[in-house]
Amino acid sequence: MFHTFQKYLSGRATLTSKELELVLSLSTEKKIAKRAFILREGEICCTQTFITNGLLRLFRTDDKGNEYTLRFAAENRWISDRESYVTGKPSNFNIEAIEDSGILVWKKEAFDFLLKELPVFKALMKSLSTKSQIANENRIYASISNSAEEKYLQFIEKQPGIFNRVPLHMVASYLGVTRETLSRIRKQLAHK
Amino acid sequence: MFHTFQKYLSGRATLTSKELELVLSLSTEKKIAKRAFILREGEICCTQTFITNGLLRLFRTDDKGNEYTLRFAAENRWISDRESYVTGKPSNFNIEAIEDSGILVWKKEAFDFLLKELPVFKALMKSLSTKSQIANENRIYASISNSAEEKYLQFIEKQPGIFNRVPLHMVASYLGVTRETLSRIRKQLAHK
DNA sequence: CGATTCTTTGAAAACAGTCAATCTGTGTGG
DNA sequence: CCACACAGATTGACTGTTTTCAAAGAATCG
């Protein structure tokens, strides 16, 4: 698992081996079984998580029990509830493993320390944050401008490595339609 | 116009009067007539804009001529197309004044200079960026979990100073429904 | 006033949600 | 190794919501 992260980092930031070691030394390695949670609604999200293998999702449940998936994250991605992490308030979200997964976890204090000590690391995080912001803006645009079918096609196109690893009802909950509707959309698409 | 910005800044960042002067000295003051554009699709967004008075919106037009409003921004807010600003690529968006407005504009180089020279200014910008990111994530959640009516009510609640200054069809284009639908939703709500 | 922009309304069609039932595949315990 | 349970996917019938198109009614501004 360290290896994956090491490869990830070395491709994006120039760190000395000592610095890399520092980053790794502050992390905790964990294995997460399918269906296990690493964050539950009501808890405070005080960690940053890097996924070395597997697949997780960030989702929320409303009063009626409906689930809404905010995003999926597979190997070589980071995941956390940014709002709770930044504000220190209880999270409204859950993070759940969709597959058996391996993760590296940093506590907030450790992560802040790294950001302070390693400008290159900080720059990487900033660039990721900017990218995710742009992606979010594009998703908002998609959500107001596209039909459900278009959203589905776009999802497949933009996250080709994800859609076939995820149960359909979770994709539906990501797109904001019911599973039945998505099932019908797929059927139609198959006829073309 | 300088005054508004000065007040804005002093409420959020502790700058010496010299530093404040530096910030102001690098800005350009502009008046924008209603319906005028400060960014057009295809242009590169190479400025940061602070709104001292009035109201602008960031929107996009699709192939069929439909408009989609990504966001509104009134006095004491910043506006730009982040994607184009960051990447240096032509923008997909337009920024248009909804009311006669006053703005302060910084070119990217000048703005970067300020970020480099004034840590407090940089911290402010970072905090704004974090807030907007959280707001975007909440908007994504709203877009997949709420009905059109709920989205409208939430919009009114979250942006009370905006909705009554904006034509209804623009609100519709922000919520992702047609103007006719929004008009009907309002009618229903009025009956309650 | 006349032109333009903005909002509302009606009717029909397209689309999506709900509920209930069924079908499929997977994995677990006996 | 089979049977059963369970999670997931699909289908049908029905209901409700939203879009589309066309027209007409306010409001605003020069």
pLDDT computed for residue B64 by the predictor: 87
Residue B109 falls inside a structural domain: yes
d(CA A129, CA B13) in angstroms, rounded, equals 23
Q: CA–CA separation, B130 vs B31, rounded Å?
A: 29
Distance from CA of B164 to the nearest CA of A (A): 21
Of B70, B82, B141, the CB nearest to A133: B82
Hey, which bits of chain A come out as E strands?
Answer: 28-32, 37-39, 47-53, 55-61, 67-74, 77-79, 94-97, 101-107
Q: Assign 3-class secondary structure to A37-73.
A: EEECCCCECCEEEEEEECEEEEEEECCCCCEEEEEEE
pLDDT, tens digit, 9 for 90 and up, residues B103-152: 999 999 999 999 999 999 999 999 999 999 999 999 999 999 999 999 99
Q: Do A133 and B173 touch (CB under 8 A)?
A: no
Structural domain contains residue B174: no
Instruction: Please give the pLDDT value at position A170.
Output: 97
Q: How far apart are CA B100 and CA A145, in angstroms?
A: 28
What confidence tier does A79 reach under pLDDT thresholds 50, 70, 90? very high
A123 touches chain B (CB under 8 A): no
What would the two tokens of residue A113 be? Answer: 């320390």
Q: For residue A63, with 0-12 CB atoms within 10 Å meaning exposed, 13-18 middle and 19 or more buried, which class applies? A: exposed
Burial class (CB in 10 A: 0-12, 13-18, 19+), B139: buried
User: Does residue B187 reach within 7 angstroms of strand C, measured from its CB?
Assistant: yes
Count up the domains in chain A and report the number. Answer: 1
pLDDT score for B2:
75
A2 confidence band (pLDDT: 50, 70, 90): confident
Residue-by-residue pLDDT tens, chain B, 192 positions = 678 999 999 999 999 999 999 999 999 999 999 999 999 999 999 999 999 999 999 999 998 889 999 999 999 999 999 999 999 999 999 999 999 999 999 999 999 999 999 999 999 999 999 999 999 999 999 999 999 999 999 999 999 999 999 999 999 999 999 999 999 999 999 886
B4 and B104 in contact (C-beta within 8 Å)? no
Report the pLDDT value the prediction gives residue A141, as an integer from 0 to 100.
97
In a domain, A64, yes or no: yes
At what angle are helices A119-145 and A17-25 packed, to 10 degrees?
A: 60
Which burial class, exposed, middle or buried, applies to B58 when counting CB atoms under 10 A from its CB (0-12, 13-18, 19+)?
buried
What nucleotide is nearest B170 when CA is compared to C1'? C6
pLDDT in tens, A29-66: 999 999 999 999 999 999 999 999 999 999 999 988 89
**Which residues 28-67 on chain B approach chain A with CB closer than 8 angstroms?**
60, 62, 66
**Does a structural domain hold residue B140?**
no
**Residues A81-110: what's their mean pLDDT?**
97
β-partners of residue B90 are: B44
Asked whether residue B166 is assigned to any structural domain, the reply reads no
CA distance B140 to A134: 13
Q: Is the CB of residue B132 less than 8 Å away from at least one CB of chain A?
A: yes
Q: Which residues in chain B have Cβ-Cβ distances shorter than 8 Å to A86?
A: 130, 134
Nearest nucleotide (C1') to alpha carbon of B184? C8
Distance from CA of B98 to the nearest CA of A (A): 20
Gyration radius (Cα) of chain B, Å: 18
What is the CATH classification number for the domain harbouring B29?
2.60.120.10
Q: What are phi and psi of A74, to 5 degrees?
A: -110, -170
pLDDT at A3: 87
pLDDT(A192) > 80: no
Report the side by side order of strands in the sheet with A94-97.
A37-39, A94-97, A55-61, A67-74
Question: Nearest CA to CA, how far is B37 from chain A (Å)?
Answer: 20
| Phi/psi-derived region of residue A176, left when phi > 0, alpha when psi is between -120 and 50, beta in every other case | left
- Tell if the CB–CB gap between A82 and B137 is shorter than 8 Å: yes
> Which of the 126-185 residues on chain A come under 7 Å of nucleic strand C at their beta carbon?
147-149, 176-178, 180-181, 185
Tell me whether residue A82 is in a domain.
Answer: yes
Q: Is residue B144 part of a domain?
A: no
Using a CB-CB distance cutoff of 8 angstroms, which residues of chain B are in contact with residue A134? 82-83, 86
Range of the domain at B13: 2-117
Amino acid at B73: A
Restricting to A residues 134-153, those with a Cβ less than 8 Å away from any Cβ of B are: 134, 136-141, 143-145
pLDDT at B192: 66
Would you say residue A76 lies in a domain? Answer: yes
Dihedral sign (CA A65, A68, A73, A74): positive
